[in-house]
A and B are shown apart, each in its own frame.
Chain A
Amino acid sequence: MTARLFDKVWDRHVVASPKGEPPLLYIDLHLVHEVTSPQAFEALALTGRKVRRPDLTIATMDHDVPTIGLDKPIADYFAAQQIARLQENCAEHGITLHALGSPQQGIVHVMGPQLGLTQPGMTVVCGDSHTSTHGAFGALAFGIGTSEVEHVLATQTLSQAKPKAMAVTVDGELPSGCTAKDLVLGIIRALGVGGGAGSVVEYRGPAIQALSMEGRMTVCNMTIEGGARAGMIAPDDTTFAYIEGRQYAPRGAAWERALDAWRELGTDEGAEFDAEIHVDAANLRPAVTWGTNPAQSVFIDDVVPEPDAAATPAARQAAERALAYQNLKPGTAIRDIPVDTVFIGSCTNGRLEDLRAAADVLRGRKVGPGVRAMVVPGSALVKAQAEKEGLDKVFADAGFEWRSAGCSMCLGMNGDILSPGERSASTSNRNFEGRQGPGGRTHLVSPAVAAATAVAGHFAAPADL
């Protein structure tokens, strides 16, 4: 019988299949952060329950931490309270915490892989929808709500109906100047913002195999923006080379045994999917979102589309609302849209490779007049590595602010926000209304396009400069 990558990982984690109930799935790694955990720990306290496996649980602080002035006390009372609460909860339950200021602190989805904690064939959950990032390693990884966080803390399992399996096959080769971000925005455009609901997506095909681990993480990260809870990529030598030698990677004989098992995980020849879409990478160009959901994107060479071109009345209505919110007129060339702010960072594009790509564009150039530009490394380790390579100097010389690790302007719940009416080019994952601050207008782009846009003062590709 043939099996898919998803089936193989799923089947190995089924603890029990009670009659009339969804299967109980074992969780290999639970990532915890300050925002979606306090109510879960409180519920444990109220019911007198303990954390079952603190050794399979790791915490960090990312969502509401400041990215500047770390030597001073946190000014935001509520953020400070939430951060203190995570410290207390981790201390009480014996959970490893990489707190603000520690060399391993960072965005939870950057931290896990860089420690070697994310490995093929695992189940990984976190109270954060971008947990899908870890699927880049051939893990089954998905976001959960706070009640489920409580459930995993108490039982190390989740009761889960098995989703459907969808294949997204990416043929061809990405053109020069096109990145994993442009690819995933193209996939979401094809799929629609809810097209993946109820499914786990497997990304496959030559253009996926050609991606680095960082690129694969970018693709899997944004799976949730197409409605699917998890995205997966079959592990291969690129995956193994990334993991080998990291802090929590197996060593010696264990490494060899793990490798043998990991090589068996890929989808079997002839296995069928519940649905499949094909994307030709060769047809893609650098992408820019124009609307207020991540499926509303065009190529940088295009114009803002007419709402009338939408496929359904609901999509047309959504497009009209989006254009009104974004204050854009159909027919405007994307390159003619000026920006106020450029943000490079997030769990989508805050890794070393992303920073290098942006720095390559910025070397010897300056941020355009009136543009506020900031770069926020995804983790303290990414920051340290980037500084070792001198990237901080490149950014600073170009006029970018060089910040400390955190979610920062991706979600507008810390000090880094847009003002009402401000327009950003952002390497993050969501362009929802007010996502980066009430009234702010977000356009999602790749790190290279963000850097070129910062220089030009309007949307631009590196080749335009």
Chain B
Amino acid sequence: MSGVQRITGRGVAVMRSDVDTDQIIPAAWLKKVERSGFGPGLFEAWRKDPQFALNQPGADQAKTLISGSNFGCGSSREHAVWALMDYGFQAVVAPSFADIFRGNSISAGLVPAQVTEDAAARLAAVLESDPDAEVVVDVAARTVSVGDGVTESFELADYAQWRLLEGLDDVALTLRHEDEIAAYERHRQTWLPSLASSQG
């Protein structure tokens, strides 16, 4: 996974709260055994509406999605993140994210940029009046701007920011602590269940 410093391009706003991962990628798509190819399924049901934001001219070029609070709630499917990224999104800007979705985003390299409710509304308003406005998500500075006028800062934990900037292999990061894992394992309670030895 490569790091992400600065995302520059078009934006799309889907200003609904509680966008769940079943909307982002419906379950029927989850039968795939690959990580790629989910883009066509992104917001599959909502895209049947010609008025939907992703059906507007230029939306297929968008790199940043602006949305409402509790984005990504529901199912733990990381496929939702893969669908957004496969479509072309590199960042989602929202007032809050569901916990599992936020973790999945950081693991996969999609930037979950948390702004205030008011900031999300201001950013979306600029896009509404000028859909061609350039959206810049600066991961290092933790700012998002739309057009020339509006720049908002976003929250992103330091450690998450570092992982996104560097595009790190999370497993390799953890394996730096392999000795500590092994030491922990030597002292686990003996009654804990093991599939290797059914107690019965």
Which single member of A20, A122, A131 contacts B158 (CB below 8 Å)? A20
B30-A63 in contact (CB<8A): yes
How many A residues are at the interface, by size bracket?
Answer: 35 or more
Which single member of A26, A58, A194, A430 contacts B184 (CB below 8 Å)? A26
A258 proximity list for chain B (CB < 8 A): 189, 191
**If the complex has contacts A81-B33, A197-B70, are A36 and B191 also in contact, measured as CB distance less than 8 A?**
no
- Whether B81 sits at the interface, judged by CB under 8 Å, is yes
Stretch of A143-151, A171-179, A330-338, A362-370 at the chain-chain interface? A143-151
- Whether A57 sits at the interface, judged by CB under 8 Å, is yes
Q: List 26 A-B contacts (CB under 8 A).
A: A26-B184, A36-B30, A56-B194, A76-B31, A82-B31, A128-B75, A143-B100, A144-B103, A147-B104, A147-B107, A148-B104, A155-B175, A159-B174, A194-B18, A194-B69, A224-B74, A225-B74, A248-B193, A248-B194, A250-B191, A250-B199, A254-B190, A257-B191, A432-B74, A435-B22, A438-B26
A413-B33 in contact (CB<8A): no
- Interchain Cβ contacts within 8 Å, total number: 227
**Given A36-B77, A248-B199, 18 more pairs with CB closer than 8 A:** A26-B188, A129-B100, A154-B171, A156-B185, A197-B98, A227-B70, A227-B73, A229-B100, A249-B193, A249-B199, A251-B200, A258-B191, A261-B189, A314-B17, A315-B17, A411-B22, A433-B45, A439-B45
A413-B28 in contact (CB<8A): yes
B181 proximity list for chain A (CB < 8 A): 15-16, 24, 26, 52, 155-157
A58-B190 in contact (CB<8A): no
How many B residues are at the interface, by size bracket?
Answer: 35 or more
Interface flags, B96-116, vs A, CB<8A=1, else 0: 111110011001100000000
Q: Which of A34-83 contact B (CB under 8 A)?
A: 35-36, 38-39, 42, 47, 49, 52, 54-58, 63-64, 76, 78-79, 81-82
B103-A29 in contact (CB<8A): no
Q: Which of A161-194 contact B (CB under 8 A)?
A: 161, 163, 193-194
Q: Which of B52-75 contact A (CB under 8 A)?
A: 68-70, 73-75
Chain A residue at minimum C-beta to C-beta distance from B35: A39
Which single member of A15, A293, A321, A433 contacts B180 (CB below 8 Å)? A15
- Whether B27 sits at the interface, judged by CB under 8 Å, is yes
Q: Which of A189-226 contact B (CB under 8 A)?
A: 193-194, 197-198, 224-225
B27 proximity list for chain A (CB < 8 A): 63, 411-413, 435
- Whether A270 sits at the interface, judged by CB under 8 Å, is no
B45 proximity list for chain A (CB < 8 A): 433-434, 438-439
Chain A residue at minimum C-beta to C-beta distance from B175: A155
A116 to B195, alpha carbons, bound, how many Å? 11
**If the complex has contacts A147-B108, A154-B171, A194-B18, are A129 and B193 also in contact, measured as CB distance less than 8 A?**
no
Interface flags, A1-38, vs B, CB<8A=1, else 0: 00000000000000110101110101011000001101
**If the complex has contacts A145-B104, A430-B22, are A194 and B77 also in contact, measured as CB distance less than 8 A?**
no
> Which of B's residues lie within 8 Å of A, judged by CB?
16-18, 20, 22-23, 26-28, 30-35, 44-45, 68-70, 73-79, 81, 96-100, 103-104, 107-108, 157-159, 169-171, 173-175, 177-178, 180-181, 184-185, 188-200
A35 to B193, alpha carbons, bound, how many Å? 25
- Whether A102 sits at the interface, judged by CB under 8 Å, is no
B32 proximity list for chain A (CB < 8 A): 78
B20-A143 in contact (CB<8A): no
A20-B190 in contact (CB<8A): no
**If the complex has contacts A26-B184, A79-B31, A257-B191, are A198 and B99 also in contact, measured as CB distance less than 8 A?**
yes
A22-B28 in contact (CB<8A): no
CB A45 to nearest CB in B, in angstroms, measures 12
A321 to B198, alpha carbons, bound, how many Å? 51
A151-B100 in contact (CB<8A): no
- Whether A384 sits at the interface, judged by CB under 8 Å, is no
Chain A residue at minimum C-beta to C-beta distance from B108: A147
Which single member of A47, A127, A411 contacts B171 (CB below 8 Å)? A47
The 6 closest A-B CB pairs, nearest first, are A194-B70, A147-B107, A145-B78, A145-B104, A413-B27, A78-B31
A47 proximity list for chain B (CB < 8 A): 169, 171
A54-B195 in contact (CB<8A): yes
Which single member of B33, B70, B74, B200 contacts A85 (CB below 8 Å)? B33
- Whether A247 sits at the interface, judged by CB under 8 Å, is yes
- Whether A114 sits at the interface, judged by CB under 8 Å, is no
B96-A197 in contact (CB<8A): yes
B33 proximity list for chain A (CB < 8 A): 38-39, 42, 81-82, 85
Chain A residue at minimum C-beta to C-beta distance from B71: A194
B159 proximity list for chain A (CB < 8 A): 20-22, 161
- Whether A96 sits at the interface, judged by CB under 8 Å, is yes
A63 to B76, alpha carbons, bound, how many Å? 13
B174-A194 in contact (CB<8A): no
Chain A residue at minimum C-beta to C-beta distance from B29: A413
- Whether A282 sits at the interface, judged by CB under 8 Å, is no
Chain A residue at minimum C-beta to C-beta distance from B75: A129
A193 to B16, alpha carbons, bound, how many Å? 14
A145-B194 in contact (CB<8A): no
A248-B177 in contact (CB<8A): no
B177-A119 in contact (CB<8A): no
Chain B residue at minimum C-beta to C-beta distance from A321: B16
A225 to B69, alpha carbons, bound, how many Å? 15
A273 proximity list for chain B (CB < 8 A): none
- Whether A317 sits at the interface, judged by CB under 8 Å, is yes
**If the complex has contacts A78-B31, A79-B31, are A145 and B76 also in contact, measured as CB distance less than 8 A?**
yes
